Structure formats: C-alpha cells, structure tokens
Amino acid sequence: MIAREIMTKPVIAVTPLTPVKRLAKLLSKNHISGAPVLDKNGKLIGIVSERDLLSKRGSQVKSIMSEKVVRVAEDTPVEEIASLMTTRNIKRLPVMRGQQLAGIVSRADIVRAMAMGEHVALYTPIYDL
C-alpha cells in the first residue's frame, strides 16, 4: 500500500498571508489539525498546525508556520510513512507529485486504512503512532 492510495485529497491549504483567526476557524470547521502552506504559485513552503496556533504568536500564518516540511512522494510505502511519523513525531505528511502537492496523509488516514481491512505492515508498534 502506498501514499496515493490512502491520502486525503483535495487538500485544505492556506497561504502565508492567511490570518491566524481564519486558520483557526478553518481547522475547526473541517475537523483537521493542520494544513500545508502554499505560495501564490501553489508551491509548498510550510505547514501549520494546532500546536503552532497554541505555542506561537502572530497575526498571519507566515509568522507561526514551520518552514521545514517533511514530505513524501505518491509512491512512498505506508510503512515508511508510519515510520517517519513515529520517529519525527509528525501527525501529517504532504504527498507530492513532482513539485506539486497531490494530497496529505495523516495518522488517521493510516488507521482508517487498517480499519477497512487493508494490510499495513508497520515497522513500529501501533501504540507508537
């Protein structure tokens, strides 16, 4: 099983100029805990999460987002994604098609695939996710 098969799409994304208040409403309304940050050309330039909202101050996404984004390709095995999430304490990973954002995989997506009976051989125990 690979990222393309379990990723969420289309992706709810924000821009660096998105007001933090609007971001909070977007996350709450869509029941998500983070979003990729795209520039005006659609290039992935960051990621922002509930943790960023709670721990950082600023009026726009650009002042609270994380610029170092761990990302995966569409053909990345789910086992590798789960391992990355566990070792780096990441809840979501942008899925790239070349330089374009194709989707996003969250821990919930992996659990959902497992619940639907898909075989996901994890390198790490499930309780570490």
The residues spanned by each domain of the chain are: 3-128
Q: pLDDT-based confidence at 120, cuts 50/70/90?
A: low
Q: Are 116 and 39 in contact (CB under 8 A)?
A: no
Q: What is the pTM of this model?
A: 0.83
Mean pLDDT to the nearest integer, 106-113: 90
Average pLDDT score, the chain: 90
For residue 16, give every residue at least 6 positions away whose Cβ sits within 8 Å of its Cβ, in sequence order, or none.
37, 39, 45, 46, 60, 61, 62, 65
pLDDT for 113 equals 82
CB atoms within 10 A of CB 75: 11
- Token pair, residue 73, equals 């390709």
Contact 79, 110 (CB under 8 A): no
pLDDT at 57 over 90: no
d(CA 101, CA 43): 7
Distance CA 83, CA 26 (A): 28
45-60 mean pLDDT: 92
DSSP annotation of 118: -
Give the homologous superfamily in CATH for domain 3-128.
CBS-domain (3.10.580.10)
- Between 112 and 129, name the one with better pLDDT: 112
